[in-house]
Amino acid sequence: MDNMVKDGVDQDTVEAVREVGGAYKHGWATDIEMEYAPKGLSTDIVRLISEKNEEPEWMLEWRLAAYDRWLKLVEPDWAMVDYPKIDFQDQYYYARPKSMEVKPKSLDEVDPKLLETYKKLGIPLKEQALLAGVEAPEGERKVAVDAVFDSVSVGTTFKDELLKAGVIFCSISEAIKDYPELVQKYLGTVVPVSDNYYATLNSAVFSDGSFVYIPPNTRCPMELSTYFRINAENTGQFERTLIIADKGSYVSYLEGCTAPQRDIAQLHAAVVELVLLDDAEIKYSTVQNWYPGDENGKGGIYNFVTKRADCRGDRSKVMWTQVETGSAVTWKYPSCILRGDDSQGEFYSIAIANNMQQADTGTKMVHLGKRTKSRIVSKGISAGKAQNTYRGLVSMHPKAKESRNYTQCDSLLIGDKCGAHTVPYIEVKNNSSRVEHEATTSKVDDDQLFYCRSRGMDEEEAVALVVNGFCKDVLQALPMEFAMEAQALVAISLEGSVG
């Protein structure tokens, strides 16, 4: 492995990771006094969450409508994943650090244990300093961070500087209070309340998340980033992200997720909505590293996420890039509704499943506008006893004339106990569009491995190198900061999969 240390991740962390030899890097829990709502789900809990967030009446009604709807829905079972039935009454739907009970007036009032958490999370040191109230030196590259800890956002950095550019970046609970007209106009318009079982659940009980608004003709001056962490036991995390890119604007958004090692599986059901108006562009990158459970499949996160981008404006462009290495069960299909003429959607994905992990992930490209383009590059890697499924939809509506799609999904198998599956749906309803789909499944090439071994690499290093090569197309689509981390993560995720 190379010695590259990601900007902000200190050498100690890297050493620590090496020492544990592939065990889960984020498996610690911070001992912070928490305030919980009672276990279980009811209208009272929904009301309580709304009340705790000091929400207006319309928000509460929205939640209650979602809850009513959720009671009528049936949990979907079509994905190629197998897990014990979830008892939705055996979860905490609201947990927040006690120290947040009275919101800190400035970030340096933040519980030092939380700051410790950031450090462990690998949030760049500069932001940590900022969280502690220290000004960053001039001219340095900046990344604004919103950290969501269990159910609540605990701090957003660079807020003021972003506001100068007109960019709103805050937690969604703040946005509901401070920018109700924006939230009301867009929330639930991309992922409707009744969209699917988990999205509906999220609509009822989401407690926090991030909100971004980029005004017209604005290039967001820095990359925005959110770190999500589930810390408390038996807590479901239901975050909601809403990003609105107004006409001619651009933003790059990074998302990272971790959770402590727990024996009991934990639920994560997030909803991400992206709205793109004319000529807007959003680049959304995720490194998902939730706790995957142990080698025997004990514990881990159930990651049931609904992510969708609505390219409403003409010539708008969205790019989803995801590196999925964590979670015991992943159920996630970041999608693009290409409504505006000449709009574009891209999806780049690496999904690694090792040990007992199960991933069912992919994308939907719905072409509605004329001359819309989409591109899907999916790399699935299965090792151990894991099951990895690509599931996708490319749909060309009759009116989406002269549209174009290219899909490539490749699967790599490491070992003979794992599985790799591809389930694409292709629906073409006009003849001026072109749709191409290619998929391959193969094992790690023996010749390549032999070559690496003959150059003195051990088997694990060789596999990591070959796999990184296999994923190159996707890694290249990630912003610099994430690409490094993702590359290292690919190697770590596969440790123990050979030999």
Partner 1 sequence: MSAVAETLSVTDERLAGLTLPAGGWSDAARKDAFSRLQSMGLPNRRDEYWKFTRPDTLTQALPVPAAPFVTDEVPLFDAIDRLKIVFVDGVFDAEASDDLSLEGIQIDRLAAADADIHWARDVYGVLEANGQKPVARSLAALNTAFAVDGVLIHVTGAVIKPINMIYLHKSETSDVMLHHVIKVDAGASLTVLETGPAAARLNNVMEVDIADGAAFHHARAQGRDHERRAATHMFARLGAESTFKSFTLTANGVMTRNECIIELTGDNANATVGGACVGDGDFHHDDTVFITHDAVNCESRQVFKKVLRNGATGVFQGKILVKAGAQKTDGYQISQSLLLDGDSQFLAKPELEIYADDVICSHGSTTGAIDETALFYLQSRGVPKAVATDLLTLSFLTEAVEEIEDETLRAEINTRMASWLERRGG
Phi then psi for residue 65, to 5 deg, are: -65, -40
Determine if 73 is a binding residue for partner 1 (CB under 8 A): no
Determine if 445 is a binding residue for partner 1 (CB under 8 A): no
Q: Return d(Cα 192, Cα 405) in angstroms, integer.
A: 26
Residue of 426, 461, 473, 479 that binds partner 1 (CB under 8 A): 426
Q: How far is the CB of 162 from partner 1 (least distance, A)?
A: 44
13 vs 441, which CB is nearer to partner 1? 441
Residue of 434, 453, 455, 472 that binds partner 1 (CB under 8 A): 434
Q: How many residues bind partner 1 (CB under 8 A)?
A: 36
Determine if 54 is a binding residue for partner 1 (CB under 8 A): no
Q: Is 101 helix (H, G, I), strand (E, B) or coil?
A: coil
Instruction: Tell me which residues in 372-401 interact with partner 1 (CB under 8 A).
Output: 398, 401
250 vs 406, which CB is nearer to partner 1? 406
122 vs 345, which CB is nearer to partner 1? 345
Q: How far is the CB of 278 from partner 1 (least distance, A)?
A: 27
Residue of 207, 433, 493, 497 that binds partner 1 (CB under 8 A): 433
Evaluate whether 336 touches 320 at the Cβ level (below 8 Å): yes
Determine if 30 is a binding residue for partner 1 (CB under 8 A): no
Stretch that binds partner 1, among 182-190, 292-300, 332-340, 407-415 (CB under 8 A): 407-415
Residue of 132, 439, 457, 498 that binds partner 1 (CB under 8 A): 439
Greatest distance between any 2 Cα atoms in the chain: 68
Residue of 87, 90, 109, 427 that binds partner 1 (CB under 8 A): 427
Stretch that binds partner 1, among 218-226, 246-254, 261-269, 432-440 (CB under 8 A): 432-440
Q: How far is the CB of 213 from partner 1 (least distance, A)?
A: 38
Determine if 428 is a binding residue for partner 1 (CB under 8 A): yes
Evaluate whether 218 touches 166 at the Cβ level (below 8 Å): yes
Determine if 18 is a binding residue for partner 1 (CB under 8 A): no
Torsion of CA 334, 340, 343, 348, to 10 degrees: 0
Determine if 459 is a binding residue for partner 1 (CB under 8 A): no
Q: How far is the CB of 333 from partner 1 (least distance, A)?
A: 15
55 vs 410, which CB is nearer to partner 1? 410
305 contact partners, CB below 8 Å, separation of at least 6: 198, 268, 269, 270, 271, 272, 330, 331, 332
Can you spell out the DSSP letters for 310-357? EE-STT-EEEEEEEE---SEEEE--EEEE-STT-EEEEEEEEEE-TT-
Q: Considering just the CA atoms, what is the radius of gyration of the chain in Å? A: 22
Beta-carbon neighbour count of residue 461 at 10 Å?
A: 15
Q: Return d(Cα 243, Cα 306) in angstroms, integer.
A: 14
Q: How far is the CB of 427 from partner 1 (least distance, A)?
A: 5
The continuous run of DSSP H or E covering 223 comes out as strand 223-229
75 vs 87, which CB is nearer to partner 1? 75
* β partners of residue 146: 156, 226
Determine if 472 is a binding residue for partner 1 (CB under 8 A): no
215 vs 415, which CB is nearer to partner 1? 415
Torsion of CA 415, 417, 420, 423, to 10 degrees: 170
Stretch that binds partner 1, among 20-28, 251-259, 321-329, 419-427 (CB under 8 A): 419-427
Evaluate whether 407 touches 437 at the Cβ level (below 8 Å): yes
Give CA angle at 460 (83, 292), nearest 5°: 20
51: left (phi over 0), alpha (psi -120 to 50) or beta: alpha
Residue of 411, 487, 493, 497 that binds partner 1 (CB under 8 A): 411
Stretch that binds partner 1, among 44-52, 98-106, 355-363, 415-423 (CB under 8 A): 415-423
266 vs 411, which CB is nearer to partner 1? 411
DSSP state of 113: H
Q: Return d(Cα 228, Cα 293) in angstroms, integer.
A: 18
Residue of 54, 440, 458, 469 that binds partner 1 (CB under 8 A): 440
Q: Return d(Cα 155, Cα 20) in angstroms, integer.
A: 30
54 vs 436, which CB is nearer to partner 1? 436
Stretch that binds partner 1, among 183-191, 213-221, 430-438, 463-471 (CB under 8 A): 430-438
Determine if 414 is a binding residue for partner 1 (CB under 8 A): yes
Q: Return d(Cα 99, Cα 412) in angstroms, integer.
A: 46
245 vs 418, which CB is nearer to partner 1? 418
Which token pair is 292?
């995957």
Evaluate whether 155 touches 110 at the Cβ level (below 8 Å): yes
Q: Return d(Cα 241, Cα 228) in angstroms, integer.
A: 11
Stretch that binds partner 1, among 8-16, 99-107, 150-158, 416-424 (CB under 8 A): 416-424
Determine if 82 is a binding residue for partner 1 (CB under 8 A): no
Determine if 141 is a binding residue for partner 1 (CB under 8 A): no
Residue of 184, 194, 441, 468 that binds partner 1 (CB under 8 A): 441
Evaluate whether 253 touches 284 at the Cβ level (below 8 Å): yes
Chain residues binding partner 1 by CB under 8 A are: 78, 80, 398, 401, 411, 413-443
